[in-house]
């Protein structure tokens, strides 16, 4: 989806392979993925500004910090999502909103032809109307517990143990709305440059992040990835191990 402050949109298809890890196995998983993609030959280049040439994409949760330093683990996260998740897409599309270029990539020529055929049949549609729930959201922690957290943080600031505390408040609300439709509405009212939507085995995940925290690129790509850029077709440059 095109947002006012971003240049590229990346849409990925079904996973060819996927990897997930809880806290304790994230850094070994990153090392495994680096070794995996380092074994692939370097293909012909694409323009340097293209942000993804193949490889895998995914996320890293803040709980990675527990692998970098000794921290107390006081709460168990009840959400089903792993701290780290990556997957290698069978096919993907990259749209450059600035240059008005579209790149399609797939594992073989028939798959690439199917992508191009679907693109020719595609017609834009507005997002479905939001279904508003009559229920009030549930907050985690509740108001009493959150106020206690604030008082505790202020106490540690006053005695000089800390100078800042980032408190978080989670809230939940049941809705029959499709996650993709929620993301489309969120993108209209909060057009964050790094917004994203994920449909994963663990559930749907919607992000409206306004900034990039870190970026890292590997140097290899599966050799059977065929991109298309009208006119003609070229091989991608290298994959990115995206965080």
Q: Place 243 in a pLDDT band, splitting at 50, 70 and 90.
A: very low
Q: How far apart (Å, rounded) are the C-alpha atoms in residues 202 and 82?
A: 8
Written as six digits, the tokens of 13 are: 């298809």
Peptide bond into 141 cis (omega under 30): yes
Angle at 227 between CA 97 and CA 200, to 5 degrees: 75
pLDDT tens per residue, range 155-184: 999 999 999 998 988 889 888 888 999 999
pLDDT tens per residue, range 179-219: 999 999 988 888 787 889 999 999 999 988 766 655 555 54
pTM for the predicted model, two decimal places: 0.75
Tracing tokens 């709980």 back to the chain, one arrives at 63
Written as six digits, the tokens of 74 are: 């006081």
Q: How far apart (Å, rounded) are the C-alpha atoms in residues 188 and 191?
A: 6
Q: Say if residues 103 and 94 touch (Cβ distance below 8 Å).
A: yes
Q: How far apart (Å, rounded) are the C-alpha atoms in residues 161 and 34?
A: 39
Q: Is 138 helix (H, G, I), strand (E, B) or coil?
A: strand
Q: What is the average pLDDT value for the chain, to the nearest integer?
A: 81
Q: Place 135 in a pLDDT band, splitting at 50, 70 and 90.
A: confident
| CA torsion angle 114 115 118 119 (round to 10) | -140
Tracing tokens 């989670």 back to the chain, one arrives at 170
pLDDT tens per residue, range 87-109: 999 999 999 888 888 989 888 88
Q: End-to-end alpha-carbon separation of the chain, Å? A: 19
Q: Is 77 helix (H, G, I), strand (E, B) or coil?
A: coil
Beta strands 194-200 and 203-209: pairing type? antiparallel
- Rounded mean pLDDT, 124-147: 88
């Amino acid at each position: 989806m095109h947002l006012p402050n971003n240049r590229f949109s990346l849409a990925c298809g079904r996973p060819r392979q996927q990897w997930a890890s809880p806290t304790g196995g994230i850094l070994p998983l990153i090392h495994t993925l680096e070794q995996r993609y380092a074994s692939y030959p370097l293909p012909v280049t694409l323009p340097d500004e293209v942000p993804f040439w193949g490889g895998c994409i995914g996320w890293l949760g803040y709980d990675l910090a527990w692998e970098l330093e000794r921290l107390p683990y006081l709460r168990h996260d009840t959400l089903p999502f792993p701290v780290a998740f990556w997957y290698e897409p069978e096919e993907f599309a990259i749209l450059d909103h600035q240059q008005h270029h579209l790149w399609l990539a797939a594992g073989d020529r028939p798959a690439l032809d199917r992508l191009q055929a679907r693109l020719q049949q595609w017609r834009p549609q507005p997002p479905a109307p939001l279904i508003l729930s009559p229920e009030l959201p549930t907050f985690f922690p509740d108001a009493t517990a959150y106020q206690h957290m604030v008082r505790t943080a202020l106490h540690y600031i006053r005695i000089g143990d800390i100078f800042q505390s980032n408190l978080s408040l989670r809230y939940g609300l049941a809705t029959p709305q499709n996650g993709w439709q929620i993301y489309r509405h969120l993108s209209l009212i909060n057009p964050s440059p790094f917004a994203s939507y994920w449909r994963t085995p663990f559930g749907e995940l919607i992000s409206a992040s306004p900034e990039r925290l870190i970026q890292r690129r590997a140097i290899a790509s599966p050799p059977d990835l065929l991109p298309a850029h009208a006119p003609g077709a070229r091989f991608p440059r290298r994959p990115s191990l995206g965080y």
